[in-house]
Structure 1
Amino acid sequence: MAPPRILLCGDVFGRLNQLTKRVSSVNKSAGPFDALLCVGQFFPDSPEQLEEFIGYIDGHSKFPLPTYFIGDYGVGAPKILSAASIDSAKQGFKMDGLKICDNLFWLKGSGKFFLNGLSIVYLSGKDSSSGPQIGTFSQDDVDALRALADEPGIIDMFLTNEWPSGITNRAASSDVPPGALSESGSSSTVANLVSEIKPRYHISGTKGVFYSREPYNNFDAVHVTRFIGLASVGNKDKQKFVHAISPTPSSTMTASELSMKASNTTMSPFGSGEATNHTVQATKRHDNTDPDSQYWRYDVSKKRQKHGESDSKRLCFKFLSSGSCPRENCHFQHDEDAREQYQRGVCFDFLNKGQCERGPDCSFKHSLQEEGKAIPNRRSGQGHASGDRSRECWFCLSSPNVESHLICSVGEYYYCALPKGQLVEDHILLVPIEHIPNTLSSSHEGESELNKYQSSLTMYFKSQAKDVVFFEWVSKRSTHANLQVVPIPSSRTSIIRDIFNLAAQKLGFEFLVLTNDSSSEGRRLLQKQFDRNSSLFYVQLPGDTIIYHPVEENEKFPAQFGREVLAGLFNKPDRDDWRNCKLSKEEEEEMVESFKSRFGKYDPNQ
């Protein structure tokens, strides 16, 4: 198939007669073209121009090509666009445009759609420091684009009204028109987005000048980006306001075709990204001879943050997608639980707002799973019915999702299973059969059986010259508990408490301590301390001492804290994430049979 043929246009300012005359002429002489994409202000500047504009909306005048616009501001915009939004035939989220009239489509908010094979993303409206209003984009719109940037595939075109700040950096100065150097009509948000999205073409309006920049290299991508800034319709300087391109969709191009570069290609105007990359790599380096180095993730400069000070409770997309955030004072939540959900393929909008407006067109999951267990909607605060929870939960024995081949022993109230991605050999889980959110909520009978399991496992590990650590992360969002059981070489038992205290200190808190004569007594004391309306992390150390930390409402606490600390103790920081340790089902079955044969004589259910 021949590449699609697209016309691009800058600020229209409601001059539709002039625009359609020019487009019709170009289409007749050099066409046919498939579509017209307009960036910059689409609506009139003054009420006097509104009559001409309304003539097209009412159908008295026609658009010669399918026309898409993102400049949803100017005189008449609120009234016309509000009417289009409430039309019952246009309800729902339409990333390929809300139809305003024949051949005219409003690209609302932000999104991605395909036009004759070209992948096009857009950001409607302008940047504004005065908060959300008509004709401006929101942080949700920006975060949605960052989610799209992490999807596989290359974006062909990115449409924004404003230019990215700094686009003239490293460009040939002789080719830069005077009006392009002004910061007016530029946006640092757009600059950040384009450096993440890395489109092949970036099209903008607003500055009122035409500027086709030399292609520039993208950090961590083989293809280049070409920026085109367009002048406004009917501008006095007669600068170019309609421009034709015919790009081949990246999905049909070979790797060598995508990596081809013109001789005038420059470095990225937004920086190479190398300094950032080196910083991240340096942060992650550790020296096993330094006991502190195992806990680089808990550096004092990254003490737990309170996010309640912000009037927004939205999630930070950068943190969810990469595990870090370059902003020094990020006002969005760095939520470890949500990051795990996102990495499992859960929709960012669903995590962030509790719903996704894309509906069936969204390719991400709209249900929450936490390392094998269903969790309630974090935004709405609503869970599922009990039957639905059990059906979806990977830990419920009645669920079709349970991985029964990992189960090693089953009692009346608890069962013992290997986790997905063991930290070390014989790392196991003690899981209540009842669908309860934490083991501290067990019935008296369930608690008694749990104590028997713990005693049996302690004796089993003693026979191997090992001690054992039990720990549990009790989150308010948890629905099915699991108590982690990790064997520790006896030679390292004496430093376990110090290691946890060190990690806690670097996160900015101190553990509370329960000293007791037995594990059962310690757990009873902890149950009295536990507020079921809050979150809690606790560790049962060898010798039955329990250290615990009640987690405050807005406190940033790593959901994998216990595993990460013990991975440092074992000098195996690469195993701090269970996803790095996954095995095939056959390997897991062999490990289960091996554990059962060794643990058999200690198993309280044998």
Structure 2
Amino acid sequence: MAAPPLRVLACGDVEGRLEALFGRVRAIQGKSGRFDMLLCVGSFFGSASEAEWAEYRSGAKKAPIPTYILGANDPEAVSYFPDVNGCEMAENITYLGRRGLYSGASGLQIAYLSGTEAQQEPAPAYSFSAKDVAELKTSLLATPSFRGVDILLTSPWPRGAETFGNSAGEIDTKRCGSKLISDLAASLKPRYHFAALEKAYYERLPYRNHTVLQESPRHVSRFIALAEVGNAAKKKEEAACQFFFDLKKQQGRKRPSGGRERGDSQPQQAKRPAQPTGPCWFCLASPEVEKHLVVSIGTHCYLALAKGGLLPDHVLILPIGHYQSVVDLSPDVVEEVTKYKAALKEFFRSKGKRYVLFERNYRSQHLQLQVVPVPLDQCTPEDIKESFIAQAQEQQIELSEIPEHTDITQVVQPGTPYFYVELDTGEKLFHRIRGRFPLHFGREVLASEALLGVPQRADWRQCAAERSEEEAQARAFRRDFQPFDFALRA
């Protein structure tokens, strides 16, 4: 039996508010089940720490889950840490140390660096120096099989965190943070990098750890800066203070601690589809739908051949009701979309193909998930990703890889225009559209000589077929797909 996913909470500056911190942890666990550990970045102790801390240090009170903290960031906090190399501070509260690697029984690897960047040598007890960073890098990079750590914990941000990424709001990332930490993160290639100290929440879009077409592909990194715990001046933002991440199948599932996500035991009110503002070619009840192209109908979704498809078995997954994008879907619709993706993966694999799915939520009013098969022996997943990224760069489109365990609802809000690619391996690429965007971009990449080799079919309007031909293609697909069609067994 597979081990259950490791569940990890991460929080920002505690500043001595231990009751607020652990009260929130208990509330989260009461709603969402038990977590395995809590990781604290930033300043754990503050000016009002002593009275609360004395109760935990004496054993009168106990942290509800194993809690791992970083060291002092200022001279006043140094006295709280009796051993610079790390130690148990109280029951269930452990100081990791000045720098190093924590590796649990699960195999999770957490690299950590305590303090702020030193302005002089030797570095004081609340700071780190270039020597500390160099020694930490050397100890980890010496392993020939090293490909990156799971988590990097630092208190300061890396300098220039928003470079080539999304805006950090009012935070001046060119001035705040540490250049040494930027260098450390680039070398250790963490899947997640948590930091604090700036009293603001910021989640940078994921970034690649390899040069496209020049280096072997590696996982992407996500930098997440966390706001402080329980700040009375920021009650409206308090939900952003703690976020949790499941580091296996559910890795990257982020939500505010006061929110709710799919899979919670409490029922959610079903989201009602919005009504189209005019005639819709894809609402199944609409008279505009070309029903001769429909090949499968489920409870909430249906499959139809693409009009002017790249290939005869180019299909669309479409919600029966009117939804603008994947981000707007109700849980029931999401579940059936997932079933159709699984069925299509099995179907195309039986024919020696893999599928590429893409969505363009831009200048469209009804969700269309385009599913295009590609021969297994013709293109690898890396070929497909590199083709999309290379052509995006040519058109000055920032296409980022996001973790396969990350739900797209984590990186974009409803109503935001975007372009999204997903392989049947779970690998994903994402672009947030901020201006103009080429309408046929997804088809152009797949039709290119590097992939399907049918560049003349990039524009669907140039691929029109007679109705009789479309009906024959639909009958053939419906017949072949029948053994895989879960809707027929309902």
Q: TM-score of the superposition, structure 2-length normalised?
A: 0.47
CA radius of gyration, larger in = 1
* Larger RCO, structure (CA 8 Å, separation 6 or more): 2
Structure richer in helix, relative to its length: 1
